[in-house]
Amino acid sequence: MKNTNSNIEFVRLLTKGDMAAFDILYNKYCHKLHAFALIYLKQEEDAEEIVQNVFVKIWNSRNKIDIYTSFESFLFTITYNSTMSLLRKRMTEIKSRAYLKSIQQFEVSSHIIDEMQFNELKNKVQSLLEQITPRQKEIFLLSREEGLTHKEIATKLKITESTVNNHLVTTLRFLKSHIDSSVLVNVLFFYLFLV
């Protein structure tokens, strides 16, 4: 799947060493990647370390990035692999049964989040968005794709923040109820669209 229009220009600039484009992509995805890593690691510092390492890898390999493939999928794959690597390291270092028990519920299959799986989820969400009202879709895209706050959306659309919140809650509840029950897919969905 190709990069989204909102990303492709920034990714192109990133491959040329543009620090401003790097900062824009970092700010767009750092919180989602942090939340995604945190569900497995359970430690804020570990999740922060993962995010920093991921973007260091992105910067160091910027000239090898294919601007025509999904940058989001690329990011989440690196984050997943780095998280699993750190988790295995922590499990080796820490012998406490309590620690092992606390993370047991978050164990998932060790397979890589490949682009096909990632894009399948994205396509499913796009299809579901066609089933909601135009206003709900508009608010969802302003929030999730453009990163606007509830207040900014309310100002832009000349509605109340409460109305924005109600539309988002309704939309997210609808999306989640129609997403595959697979553990990994649900985790991806949650951290791509609900955080």
pLDDT tens sequence across 33-60: 998 888 888 888 888 989 999 999 999 9
Asked if residue 80 lies in contact with residue 40, where contact means CB atoms within 8 angstroms, the answer is no
> Does residue 65 have a pLDDT over 70?
yes
CATH number for the domain that contains residue 145: 1.10.10.10
The Cα angle at residue 47 between residues 42 and 48, in degrees rounded to 5: 140
> Taking Cα atoms as reference points, which of 171, 173, 130, 128 lies closest to residue 153?
171
| Amino acid making up residue 112 | I
Q: Are 11 and 95 within one domain?
A: yes
Termini Cα distance of the chain? 23
CATH number for the domain that contains residue 57: 1.10.1740.10
Where in the sequence is the domain holding 13, given as residue range(s)? 5-104
Q: For residue range 70-104, what is the model confidence (pLDDT) as tens digits?
A: 888 888 888 988 888 887 776 665 544 455 555 44
Q: For residue range 130-184, what is the model confidence (pLDDT) as tens digits?
A: 998 989 889 988 887 666 788 889 999 999 988 888 888 888 888 777 776 554 5
Burial class, 71, CB count within 10 angstroms (exposed 0-12 / middle 13-18 / buried 19+): buried
| Amino acid making up residue 103 | I
Please indicate, yes or no, if residue 140 is contained in any of the structural domains.
yes
Q: Of 77, 104, 131, which residue sits at a domain end?
A: 104
